[in-house]
Every structure is written in structure tokens, then in C-alpha cells.
A = this chain, B = another copy of it.
Amino acid sequence: MDTSVRILKRATLAFGEFGYDATSLDDLARALDIRKQSILYHYPSKELLLEACVRQAIADLSVALDEAIRKSSYGWERIESIVKRVFRLANNRPELLGLLREVTRLGPPILTNAVEGMRPLLDGATVWLIEEMENGRVRRSDPELLVLSAYSTIMGAATEVKLFEALGEESTIRHVAMRRKELLRFLKIALIP
């Protein structure tokens, strides 16, 4: 595999799981069995590496969501499809959502970039919600607020696996499925008229 891609994947893993500050280029190089300077050849600085990771993560997320959107039609069906897709993503590639959370934690300037990258996604969701509300398929409320609430709710539900484990809740597939089901029930009651 291309070295720069290997670096990107590993960095996304590390940044998403342990955080940006806690991940040193030396660590990364060791894990990849290359020299640190090879990393700095492909990505001139640690911050630029992070940027690249975030860009890729958002791209991957967009692809996944587009898939979920195309596979479904309207109203509740589509919401359900999206939530399920996000949970699947959280299961298969937890580092992606972890990285996004990390970015909101780090704040500007990297967050500003990331937000620009996500805006089409969020705007699309907002526009769609407005339409659905007008057609009476979704309960009326402030659509932007709703998108952001949904974002942080799904994010929380999908990424706080560590917390569940620490609480002694086993985090088997079945448990994740239960939490997903519970969240869906919640969302359905709250969103659908």
C-alpha cells in the first residue's frame, strides 16, 4: 500500500483513539515501522497530517451517509437508515467518529476547517428536514437546532463506548444493537408526528 495512505490511516486511528496531543510522530513512525522523517516528508507538519486525516474522515463519512440516503426514501425510513449507517460506521471504524469528536475538542483553527468540510452535509440535512416538516412527515421545530442536536446525540451514543465499558456494561454487539434500538425508539417518538 502507498506509504502516505498507510500513514493517514494509522494517524486517523491514533488521533481518534488516543487524541492528537497524546499521539507523537515517533509513536506513529514506530507503529508503521518507518522513520519519523518519512512521515514529515509526506505531511510537512503534524498539524497538516491532522488536517489530512480530518479531510479524509469527512469524505468517508459523506460517502457513508450518501449511501444511506440513496438507499432510503423519505420521512422516518430515511432517518432510520442514517442512524443505522452511523452506528455501523461507529462499529467498523470507531476512529472516524472519534477523530471528529477530537476535532471539536481541539477547537480552532482545525475545527474551522472541519466545519467547512461538513457544512454541505449539515446544510443538506437541514434543507431536507425543512421539506419533511412542510410535508408533515417530521414534527415541526427549529431545523438547524434539530440537526445539531441529532448530531451530538448520535455522536454521543455512537462514541461513548468507553464509558459503557468502564461502567461494566459489556459492549457486545447485542448491547450496541440494543442502544441503537433504544435511540431509534427515542427519535421516532420525538420526531415523527
Contacts and interface: CB of A to CB of B under 8 A. Distances in A.
Interface stretch (A31-39, A75-83, A179-187): A179-187
A105 B105 contact: yes
Interface stretch (A57-65, A89-97, A149-157): A149-157
Most buried by B among A104, A167, A185: A167
Instruction: Count the copies.
Output: 2
A149 B142 contact: no
Interface in A127-160: 141-142, 144-146, 148-149, 152-153, 155-157, 160
Interface of A is mostly: helix
A124 interface: no
A160 to B, nearest CB: 5
B112 A142 contact: no
A8 to B, nearest CB: 22
Interface in A93-140: 101-102, 104-105, 107-108, 111-112, 114-115, 119, 122
B166 A148 contact: no
A189 B192 CA distance: 10
Contacts of A102: 105
Most buried by B among A101, A148, A155, A182: A148
Nearest to A115: B166
Interface of A: 19, 21-22, 101-102, 104-105, 107-108, 111-112, 114-115, 119, 122, 141-142, 144-146, 148-149, 152-153, 155-157, 160, 162-164, 166-167, 169, 178-179, 182-183, 185-186, 189-190
